[in-house]
Structure 1
Amino acid sequence: MSRFRFRLKRPFVGNRIFHFDLKGAAPKVAYFKEMFAFLKTIGATGILIEWEDMFPYEGILADVRNGNAYTKKEIATILNWAVEYELDIIPLVQTFGHLEWILKLEKFAKYRQVERYPQVICLADDEAVDLVKTALNQVLAVHREFPMPFFHIGADEAFQVRLGDLIEPVVWNYAENLDDQLYPDMWERFGTVFPFIWGASAFKGADGPSRFYSNVPHYLANHRSWISQMTTAYKSFKQFRGLILTGWQRFDHFAILCELLPVGLMSAAINFITIKKGHYDRSVLREASTLMDCSNTIDIDAQGIAGYCNFPGSKVYQEVQQLKSALDQTNENVHKDYQVRGWLTPFNIKHNYSQAWYLDQLLDKVNMHITDLEAIAQALRKDMEPIFFADTIDEFLFEYLEPGLKELHVLREGAIRLGATKYFGLRPFKINSILEQRKEEKKVLESGARMPPANVGDRETRR
């Protein structure tokens, strides 16, 4: 624990903003109220809300709406709750890049900067610019009914187009040691153009696109380094506005889900408290444990597991940590098992060739791990349902639980079938290697035959 200990002379009094990334695992409306109460408790001063395709766009943009998109009435309810909990509201609409949610559609593909890539819009096209303005205006029309001190327009490229008098840049960095990337002269150069500046750290969703479980030490190190940077960087500006603590749900619009909101809240609590105090020591863990009503003090070296806690979605948090542990145990106890690696390989299963003596020892172990994963799946589905739409639950389980469960069922069925086999064939066996299959596929392609098209599923609306 001592490697994380550091202290500044006074608390950090700037903006401390919590990022809602709604391009993945957007929560149901009621969960926002629980979240806002929690954020106020841990020291957040505002929210950055990235609506993306969850906003109820109209007119030419109506087709980009997610099937689960909020209604205007629901958005008003969400924003009213934010005001109730005295949280500043900063809407985010991407304007230069990160526009996959619009440019992925065939009708808008003509506005891409590069036809092959749907990320960046062509600002030399007047119609494309009007499209972005339409998105901005529709979001502004809803948000102007509520306090809105800032509006985030993305626009990484704004430094290149000399907008220093109009915008305030955000420096994003999620590394554990910012000194390796953010040098003092960088801040000085920014200071010659911009009087105000922001920093952006991460409390989740920035540690690999398929990281679905909590990694508190990584994010704590990132915030420790941000405190160190801000301590000196502020001198180059009229004001260092504050820090946006980002929490990506996907790395981009096309990526799979990473950490869900409840999974990141223990990290959020620890890091918001750390930033507010301006230092980290054991008192941060004690305070976070108290605020989250944990039965034990948080141990970040145990990946944040702290007995029973009570915060918005805490059951989902615990079950996801259990899933990670169960998958690790399955890998260690089954896939690396002596019997599996010698007598229940794909070769054994395909050619019905194995030794029942070893399979009998293995089957109970496989069944135990199947039971564990099925119980976790049932619990996750039950506890995620009040928070998330059905498609989020399905996607999360499909991506992170079902592959492991499927592998176990393949082993189980193979062990049962092979264990019942009394008579076996003679070697050698005919083996169709993957290389031979690829040769056959190449012949088909060279003959001019067309491969069957991929199916495009119908959109589901929220349930």
Structure 2
Amino acid sequence: MNNFKVDRTGSQRLVHLDLKGAPPRISYFEKILPFIKNIGATGILLEWEDTFPYTKDVIPIGSLSDHAQTSGAPYSMEEAKQILTIAAACDLIVIPLLQTFGHLEFVLKHENWRSLREVEEFPSSICPSKSGTIQLITSLLEQMIEFHPSIQYIHLGGDEVWHMGMCSICEKRIQTSQFGKSRLYLDHMSKIGHYVKENYPGLKIIVWDDMFRNIEVEILQEYPSCNFFELMIWNYLPSDSFHLNDGLWEKYNSVFSNLWIASAFKGATSSCQLIPVIKYHLSNHLAWLTELEKNSKKIGNLRGIALTGWSRFDHFATFCELLPCGIPSLCFCMATWISGGYSQDLEESVRKLLGSDCGTISYLESSTVCLPKTNPQPTFPGWQIFVGIEMLMNLRTRYKNLINSDQLQTWFNTWQVLNSFTNPMQIKSLLLVVIELLGEMSTVKEHLKKYMEEVFFNHTLEEFFGTLMVPVEHHLNQMKTDIERQLSLGGRAREHMNL
């Protein structure tokens, strides 16, 4: 265990809720926010994206758009207010996160703002040089800030600007600037920062740090906005690959008055991961504890940590881990962070919190937490979905093993089916496996549908089943039909083949 102890009185512990994928119903917020508070969180970093109820000229971007209203996507104005009310009742501060440079697919996908793209064919990054950019960003910011009555911080995003300095206007600016893309980035973020400070002087501003990492300190010091930016340094890697640039702490402390760090409890491994690999995320938090202990004399004012839980890798990506599936990982990571290390006693206490006392530490090696299907049942919010996803993962593995099996490739490949040249003895056993998988798939689907309807909106269920279950069901049903037809033929001589 590390000797470093988190300052439990002055350190913030934020749980990041990424609403751009599978946003939960209000009834789930009523369960999960008290739970988050109970495990030690002091606030939530709320990434609304297109679930925010924007109005007026930017209404197409958010949850009040015609498309959102037709599909039943959240949130209404009243629902959004309810989330803030529940958080306040739990004594959790709410820090809204609004992307202002990169990751703006949810804005730039609309024809109204397509002209503001840095690269016309890609909707990820906005052009900082076009006249409508600042007007659009400040319009979004104004509504976001005004909506949160007790707001103390605003997170302006600013990370992973994949396309910058590529349009003709930006290229010209880069050529005439001694600092190139660095100045382009800092000019844009400074304009937004100054807008916030001029209109909301008491508001603190957080920005992701990755775009600042390779900017020389002398350049940063030329920008007064850096004096009121609070950088959130993110690294989601486990101990064996965790690394921060040499001199990073010294550079940041010479420019920025306050810093944050960000870890991950889910959504940082595979882009289509279904259940977090707890050992991976636990290792990430232990790496951060080691980093802070090692550099304790170099670190100035550290505000706290945000435990991020991404739901998609970008606006167009499929789901990664649903929030209920990330709760066990969140509990282990939060407990490790508060304790300043990991121990057997901590493991036991977290297991009791989750409502499960089975197994040993070995389950941390895999993506499952080894929760029992019988008593004692788990008790954390949404555990039934967790169990259902575990069953689905098992079924999908068996399905993949079947379609990649030697038996199918040898006696039931595409050529053989098309030419009706199959051995009934070999394919009859395949039919039994397919029928069994279809039956179990139906049972799991019924289970997940029942409990997911309680937590998520219909558009989430449609995407989830349409992505993970319907294609498998269709393929299995087609296989069943094909096998039954081949069995009815009873094995035929080659002269009957359709060559």
**Cα drift, residue 400 of structure 1:** 1.7
Does residue 406 (structure 1) correspond to residue 474 (structure 2)? The answer is yes
The structure 1 residue matched to 2:453, chosen from 345, 360, 385, is 385
Which residue among 131, 135, 142 is the counterpart of 2:140?
A: 135
Any idea what the Cα deviations from partners look like across 1:372-419, whole Å, max 9, x if unmatched? 111111111111001101111111112122233333222222211101
Match of 1:17 among 10, 14, 19: 14
Partner of 2:156: 153
Aligned-pair distance for 1:137? 0.4
- Paired position in structure 2 for 1:45: 42
Deviation at 1:425?
5.5
Q: Is the 8 A contact 2:101 2:157 kept in 1?
A: yes
Kindly indicate whether residue 23 of structure 2 is the aligned counterpart of residue 26 of structure 1.
yes
* Distance in 2 (alpha carbons) for counterparts of 1:52 and 1:36: 19
Question: What is the percentage of aligned positions where both structures have the same residue?
Answer: 30
Match of 1:214 in 2: 276
Q: How does 1:291-440 map to 2 (within 5 A)?
A: 291-296=353-358, 299-302=363-366, 303-307=368-372, 308-332=377-401, 334-422=402-490, 424=492, 426=494
SS in 2 for 1:206: coil
Local SS of the residue matching 1:168: strand
**2:379 counterpart SS class:** coil
Amino acid at match of 1:135: L
Query: How far apart are the structure 1 equivalents of 2:5 and 2:237?
Result: 24
What is the identity, as a one-letter code, of the residue corresponding to 1:222? N
- In structure 2, the partner of 1:448 is none
Q: Which residue of 2 aligns with 1:94?
A: 99
Q: Decide which of 2, 20, 40 is 1:7's aligned counterpart.
A: 2
* Alignment partners' CA distance in 2, 1:47 and 1:394: 27
CA distance in 1, matches of 2:240, 2:51: 33
Task: Determine the C-alpha separation between the residues in 2 that align with 1:409 and 1:195.
Answer: 61
CA change 1:237–1:195 in 2 (3 A) is: farther
Inter-partner Cα distance in structure 2 for 1:133 and 1:81? 27
Equivalent-residue separation in structure 2 for 1:427 and 1:280 (angstroms): 69
Q: 2-side partners of 1:106 and 1:178: how far apart?
A: 44
CA distance in 1, matches of 2:143, 2:98: 10
Match in the other structure for 1:120? 125
CA distance in 2, matches of 1:233, 1:35: 34
Counterpart CA distance in 1 for 2:113 and 2:30 is: 35
| Alpha-carbon spacing, 1:126–1:236, altered in 2? closer, same or farther (3 Å) | farther
Q: Quote the RMSD (CA, aligned, Å).
A: 2.0
TM-score, normalised with respect to structure 1: 0.87
**Corresponding residue for residue 328 of structure 2:** 266
SS at match of 2:14: strand
- 2:289 match: 227
| Structure 1 CA distance for aligned equivalents of residues 343 and 277 of structure 2 | 18
**Count of residues in correspondence between the two structures:** 423
> In 2, distance between residues paired with 1:44 and 1:24?
22
Instruction: Name the aligned partner's letter for residue 454 of structure 2.
Output: P
Looking at structure 2, the residues matched to 329 and 251 of structure 1 have their Cα atoms a distance apart, in angstroms, of 27
**Residues 132-158 of structure 1: CA distance to partner in whole angstroms, max 9, x if unpaired?**
000000011110x22x22110112345
TM-score between the two structures when normalised by the length of structure 2: 0.81
What amino acid sits opposite 1:259 in the alignment?
E
Q: Which residue of 2 aligns with 1:73?
A: 78
How far apart are residue 184 of structure 1 and its match?
A: 4.2
- Measure how far apart 1:429 and its partner are: 6.5
Q: 5+ unaligned residues in a row in structure 2: which ranges?
A: 160-184, 190-211
1:286-307 Cα deviation digits (max 9, x unpaired): 1111112224256323521221
Cα distance in 2 for residues equivalent to 1:428 and 1:21? 59
291-300 or 371-380, which moves further after superposition? 291-300
**Which amino acid in the other structure matches residue 114 of structure 1?**
V
Equivalent residues of 1:25, 1:257 under 8 A apart: yes
Which segment is superposed worse, 270-279 or 72-81? 72-81
Match for 1:358: what amino acid? Q
Query: Bigger CA drift: 7-16 or 80-89?
Result: 7-16
Q: 1:190 aligned to 212, 228, 252, which one? A: 252
Q: Post-superposition shift, 1:318?
A: 0.7
Query: Does structure 2 retain, via aligned residues, the 8 Å contact 1:178–1:222?
Result: no
SS in 1 for 2:17: strand
**Given that residues 18 and 246 in structure 1 are in contact (C-alpha distance below 8 angstroms), is that contact kept between their aligned partners in structure 2?**
yes
| Cα deviation, residue 234, structure 1 | 4.3
Question: CA 1:247 to 1:336, structure 2 compared with 1: closer, same or farther past 3 Å?
Answer: same
Q: How far apart, in 2, do the equivalents of 1:354 and 1:179 lie?
A: 50
Residues 399-408 or 87-96, more deviating: 399-408
Q: SS where residue 310 of structure 1 aligns?
A: coil
1:330 deviates by 2.9
Aligned to 1:446: none
Aligned CA distance change for structure 1 residues 181 and 9 (closer, same or farther; 3 Å): closer
Shift of the alpha carbon at 1:69?
Answer: 3.1
Per-residue Cα deviation, 1:53-98 (whole angstroms, up to 9, x for no partner): 1011011111112411312222221111111111111111111111
Give the secondary structure class of the aligned counterpart of 1:245. strand
Letter matched to residue 313 of structure 1: G
Matched residue, 2:266: 204
The code of the aligned residue for 1:23 comes to: K
Distance 1:178 1:240, change over 3 A: farther
Map of 2:347 onto structure 1: 285
